[in-house]
Amino acid sequence: MQIFRRLVCPRKDPGTAACDFLKDMMDIRMTVSWLREHGVVVKGYREPVCSGYIFSGDKVPLDGSISDSGDASGRLLLLNPIEEECRIQDRSILREATKAEIESAKDGKAFHPAVNARLVELTDGYSSRLQLESVTSNIRLAGSIIG
């Protein structure tokens, strides 16, 4: 498992707040720990835990939660979850898709596109629809936070 190092902006800029979610193929507990070690506060939107992205997993405690009117300033990563009932329940799909990560690494290619492509195949496109909804939800949330 890897940590999600794409999340470097809140670490580098003391005034950055980001809305995102941690990918299921990463070690979420280690990623949250790494972010904390680098001065980033990690909170959930309405929930003080992270339990996965498009799959449901273990609940990892965060540094609290923020509601619609909460403070979202400073070095903050705000995790905006997909509703549990909408997530893919069969984690064997994730295990199968991550095999594409191993193959892409052997070929010297980026793993994320390979895993996403395999997820699309295994879910008949549902994983892409979930991710698109997540992106648009994060845009709406970010817009409501900055006014």
Stated as kind and residue range, the H or E segment containing 67 is none
Which residue has better confidence, 37 or 10? 37
Domain covering 9-146 in this structure, CATH number: 3.40.1790.10
Pairwise CA distance, residues 16 & 9, whole Å: 7
Question: How much is the average pLDDT of 116-130?
Answer: 95
Q: State residue 50's pLDDT score.
A: 93
Q: What angle is formed at CA 85 by the lines to CA 65 and CA 87, rounded to 5 degrees? A: 85
Q: State residue 140's pLDDT score.
A: 85
**How do residues 55-101 score in pLDDT, each as one tens digit?**
998 999 999 998 765 666 677 888 999 999 999 999 999 999 988 77
Phi, psi of 17 (to 5 degrees): -120, 130
Q: Is the pTM of this model over 0.75?
A: yes
Question: How much is the average pLDDT of 106-110?
Answer: 78
Question: How much is the average pLDDT of 102-131?
Answer: 87
Which residue has better confidence, 19 or 133? 133
Is residue 123 pLDDT above 90, yes or no?
yes
